[in-house]
């Protein structure tokens, strides 16, 4: 099963020399995993990340694209909860970088969504946005009833921008507020596989698709088994009810039963689990399914009429409720 750490390990190894793609990825990581802070009147940019490999990737991109040296440190274990980011990347003189990344507008105000020039970029840049989003705050749950690929966003505007980026590469996502967190969710199994591929995780996609297909095959098999079991139960109940009614009919009518109807009733009792087709084949001479069914039906109708005339219980009187009407 492709776990969240496995997907991130694959994504962090994606190599690209396209500057636009690298900018889209690192800007998204810093937007979703970070924030802008004012320290002594200067704007600092911080991002909390999960693994040393992601930290190294962000620092390398900032150095090679913008010539910025970012600090990195591990947070104290006591200050983090399981599964939370463990590392901080910080740029103390971060205003110029924030402007270049599109994280500040012309009035030095932090943007609430994602930089517009990124979300209207080329398909490979939109895929890089999602790669950065997953590296920053993404997770995946296994194929099944609640399977999903999701990204936690800092604002509703960021979530909407991420949904738009996915839509432009042909993948449907939805923005939802869940337990106070704004999330972008992809729940369709094929769409999750397509997004894994788009982000640059083909190995994870192959594993995902294999598990999804195996789960669907197993679910289909289970439905068929349950369907067959239900049919068998209904057939067994119908057989029990029919035999019980035939026995009662023979008791009610006694010697008054026409020979051909008595023969059909006794044949039914002698082969309780046989279908009507099988009963007809066992008759001597052989009868059709409709013929044997018609004789048993007339036997029961004759017995019920005699019971009403004599004021005694009919052929259904002794059946449990669940068998009545069979």
- Over residues 255-271, mean pLDDT: 87
CA 178/CA 144 separation, integer angstroms: 20
CA 303/CA 296 separation, integer angstroms: 11
Name the residue with higher pLDDT: 129 or 307. Answer: 129
- Over residues 119-140, mean pLDDT: 94
The CA-atom distances, in angstroms, between 45 and each of 26, 33, 39, 88, 216 are: 13, 11, 10, 10, 45
Examine the pLDDT at 124 and tell me if it is beyond 90. yes
Band the pLDDT of 13: cuts 50, 70, 90: very high
Contact 65, 26 (CB under 8 A): yes
Examine the pLDDT at 196 and tell me if it is beyond 60. yes
Examine the pLDDT at 1 and tell me if it is beyond 80. no
Examine the pLDDT at 23 and tell me if it is beyond 60. yes
Burial tier of 35 (Cβ tally within 10 Å: 0-12, 13-18, 19+): middle
Q: Tokens 């068929």 map to which residue?
A: 224
CA 148/CA 7 separation, integer angstroms: 13
For 321, residues 6+ apart whose C-beta sits below 8 A from its C-beta are: none
As a whole-number percent, the residues of the chain with pLDDT over 70 amount to 88
Name the residue with higher pLDDT: 16 or 272. Answer: 16
Tokens of 114: 């994602």
Question: How much is the pLDDT for 77?
Answer: 72
Band the pLDDT of 56: cuts 50, 70, 90: very high
Examine the pLDDT at 197 and tell me if it is beyond 80. yes
Band the pLDDT of 208: cuts 50, 70, 90: confident
Rg (CA), the chain: 36
- Over residues 181-195, mean pLDDT: 91
Question: How much is the pLDDT for 28?
Answer: 94
Q: Which of 158-172, 270-284, 296-310 has the lowest mean pLDDT?
A: 270-284
Our CA angle for 288, 293, 295, nearest 5°, is: 100
Examine the pLDDT at 212 and tell me if it is beyond 80. no
Examine the pLDDT at 322 and tell me if it is beyond 60. no
Question: How much is the pLDDT for 216?
Answer: 65
Name the residue with higher pLDDT: 16 or 214. Answer: 16
Taking the CA atoms of residue 236, residue 239, residue 244 and residue 246 in that order, the dihedral angle to the nearest 10 degrees is 180
Strands (E), 75-187: 87-91, 138-141, 148-153, 174-178, 181-186
Average pLDDT value for the chain: 85
Examine the pLDDT at 21 and tell me if it is beyond 90. yes
Question: How much is the pLDDT for 203?
Answer: 92
The CA-atom distances, in angstroms, between 299 and each of 97, 158, 258 are: 93, 75, 9
Band the pLDDT of 179: cuts 50, 70, 90: confident
Question: How much is the pLDDT for 315?
Answer: 84
39: β partners? 42
This prediction's pTM: 0.66
């Amino acid at each position: 099963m492709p776990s969240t750490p496995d997907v991130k390990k694959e994504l962090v190894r994606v190599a690209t020399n396209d500057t636009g793609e690298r900018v889209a990825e690192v800007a998204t990581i810093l937007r979703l995993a970070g924030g802008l802070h004012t320290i002594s009147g200067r704007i600092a940019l911080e991002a909390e990340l999960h693994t040393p490999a992601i930290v190294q990737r962000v620092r390398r991109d900032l150095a090679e694209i913008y010539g910025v040296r970012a600090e990195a440190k591990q947070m104290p274990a006591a200050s983090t909860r399981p599964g939370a980011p463990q590392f901080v990347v910080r740029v103390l003189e971060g205003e110029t970088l924030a402007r270049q990344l599109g994280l500040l507008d012309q009035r030095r105000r932090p943007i609430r969504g994602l930089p517009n020039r990124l979300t209207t970029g080329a398909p490979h840049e939109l895929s890089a946005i999602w790669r950065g989003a997953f590296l920053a705050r993404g997770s995946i749950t296994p194929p099944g009833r609640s399977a999903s690929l999701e990204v936690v966003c800092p604002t509703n505007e960021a979530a909407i921008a991420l949904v738009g980026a996915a839509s432009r590469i042909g993948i449907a996502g939805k923005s939802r507020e869940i337990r106070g967190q704004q999330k972008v969710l992809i729940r369709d199994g094929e769409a999750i596989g397509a997004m894994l591929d788009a982000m640059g995780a083909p190995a994870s996609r192959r594993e995902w698709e294999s598990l999804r297909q195996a789960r669907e095959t197993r679910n289909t098999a289970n439905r068929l088994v349950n369907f067959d079991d239900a049919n068998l139960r209904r057939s067994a109940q119908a057989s029990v009810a029919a035999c019980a009614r035939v026995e009662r009919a023979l008791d009610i009518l006694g010697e008054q039963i026409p020979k051909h109807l008595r023969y059909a009733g006794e044949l039914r009792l002698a082969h309780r689990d046989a279908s009507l087709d099988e009963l007809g084949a066992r008759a001597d001479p052989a009868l059709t399914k409709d013929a044997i069914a018609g004789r048993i039906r007339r036997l029961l109708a004759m017995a019920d009429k005699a019971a009403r005339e004599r004021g005694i219980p009919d052929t259904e009187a002794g059946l449990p409720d669940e068998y009545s009407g069979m």
